[in-house]
Amino acid sequence: MVHDAPVTEDWPLPAPAVRELFRRGAEIALDPRADWVADLHTAALSGAGMRPVAEDPVLAEGARRANLANLLHWATANVQRPGERVPVYVGPEVLDGARDLVRRGLDHIGLDAYRTAQAVAWRHWMQICFTLTADTGRLRELLDVSARSITTFIDDTVAAVTQQMAAERSELTRGAHAERRATVSLLLEGAPLPRARAEAQLGYGLTGPHTAVIVWSGSGGTGSDQLEAAAEATMRAAGASRRLTVVAGAAALWVWLPVDRAPEVAAVAAGLAGAPEVRVAVGRPGTDVDGFRRSHLDAATTQQMLTRLTSRQQVARWSDVQLVALLTADPTRAEEFLTATLGDLRHADAAVRDTVRTSVQELGSVSRTAARLYSHRNTVLRRLARADELLPRPLAGNAVAVAAALDVLRWRGTGS
């Protein structure tokens, strides 16, 4: 158990007037501007070696929750007791993030986020301080005590998280779960692990077909029982009778099913009706050890795409999103592609966009398009004519690109 850092008697307090400035500044920090929070998160995830964390939606979201929780804790403490030493915050956001990093073997780099976020927090805090007073003497003292407060809080936090990680690492080195996680990690890294030994440690055969699944939640409130229920529903939808499951974090499961066909999206989604925060990414089926590895990597790419696009879809299969994942890997270029390809059609009525996409899928057949959309032929013709008015180039000469761009929009969330 991690305990709060003690507030020592030798902690010097600033003058009452400066403490009041500190309190006023902390009140502003309690309601941080959105761009400041975004800067904080960007810095935390762009530090040295943080790429494995930044690319994993669950780990990245955990880092963001921990950073924001620490910021608000520090600000709240200084509203209540301005200028005093701030005790460490060891709430669930921080502890769950630490556990997840250890479970993935990334604890050696995870602490970088605290140091890089500290520099950004200090820069924005200085901006607040300069709005509080024009008295250079008081400002100098305010900045001095602020620097000591922030640095000490981060030092104490890193020490507490390091202690928690050590305890978690000790726990993980014991038992079958630890052995299973270690074996899966070696297989995914392509290590020359003897097949028989790996199968014995996993209790799962590596010969034959595999379809990998990642089940996760982007919110901190989803219980492990909901994740397990989602994994079970996916297994049933795939027609599998067993599964290999690895706990990848407090909010993520890695699953392998011994089947050669990805489950239908509708069948999986039906099993998630009671868990709206749970998401499922399905890789393409593969065979033997290489298929075990590749299917998981495909599922991970699908997971990253859903998160990157803030997609509202609960379930996605690699086979359905492969093109969209490639097109949106670079967000800036994806925006340029959508604008150049769709023009004003991008903001047109959804019925017009759906008609265009269906028409391309039906190779321009108005009759088949109308049948699929349960619409009258004249309605389809009218919508296609409207689309040509909105597109930068006629649909007939750019159908493939237009369909791809519309597919990107279909997977994107409203905020992306």
Rounded Cα distance between 351 and 332, Å, is 27
352 shares its domain with 376: yes
71-85, 184-198, 219-233 — which is least confidently predicted?
A: 219-233
98 shares its domain with 234: no
66 shares its domain with 102: yes
144: Cα separation from own chain's centroid: 36
Say what the pLDDT of residue 108 is: 64
Q: What is the CATH number of the domain that holds 58?
A: 1.10.490
Please, which pLDDT band fits residue 405 given cuts at 50, 70 and 90? Answer: very high
Say what the pLDDT of residue 204 is: 92
Q: Is the dihedral of CA 361, 282, 312, 229 positive or negative?
A: positive
- Sequence letter at residue 46: S
Q: DSSP labels for 313-376?
A: -SEEEHHHHHHHHHHTSSHHHHHHHHHHHHGGGGGS-HHHHHHHHHHHHTTT-HHHHHHHHT--
The tens digit of pLDDT for each residue in 276-329 reads 889 999 999 999 999 999 999 999 999 999 999 988 899 999 999 999 999 999
Residue 204 within a domain: no
Say what the pLDDT of residue 57 is: 86
56-60, 150-154, 241-245, 290-294 — which is least confidently predicted?
A: 56-60
Of the residues 327, 352, 385, the one at which a domain ends: 327
116 shares its domain with 255: no
CA angle 408, 414, 416 (to 5 degrees): 65
What pTM was estimated for this model as a whole?
A: 0.70
341 has pLDDT over 90: yes
Residue 203 within a domain: no
Across the chain, mean pLDDT equals 87
Compute the average pLDDT of residues 189-202: 89
161 shares its domain with 273: no
Record the tokens describing residue 170, joined without a space: 């000790």
| Distant-in-sequence contacts of 392-399, Cβ < 8 A, 24+ apart | 392/340, 392/341, 392/342, 392/343, 395/356, 395/359, 395/360, 396/364, 398/341, 399/360, 399/364
Range of the structural domain that residue 74 is part of = 16-172
Residue 45 within a domain: yes
Phi, psi of 102 (to 5 degrees): -65, -40
Phi-psi region of 239 (alpha: psi -120 to 50; beta: other; left: phi over 0): left
Of the residues 327, 355, 370, the one at which a domain ends: 327
- Sequence letter at residue 307: T
Q: DSSP labels for 2-39?
A: --PPP--TT-PPPPHHHHHHHHHHHHHHTS--HHHHHH
Please, which pLDDT band fits residue 250 given cuts at 50, 70 and 90? Answer: confident
Of the residues 172, 188, 220, the one at which a domain ends: 172
Residue 133 within a domain: yes
Say what the pLDDT of residue 276 is: 85
213 has pLDDT over 80: yes
Say what the pLDDT of residue 96 is: 81
175 has pLDDT over 90: no
86 shares its domain with 134: yes
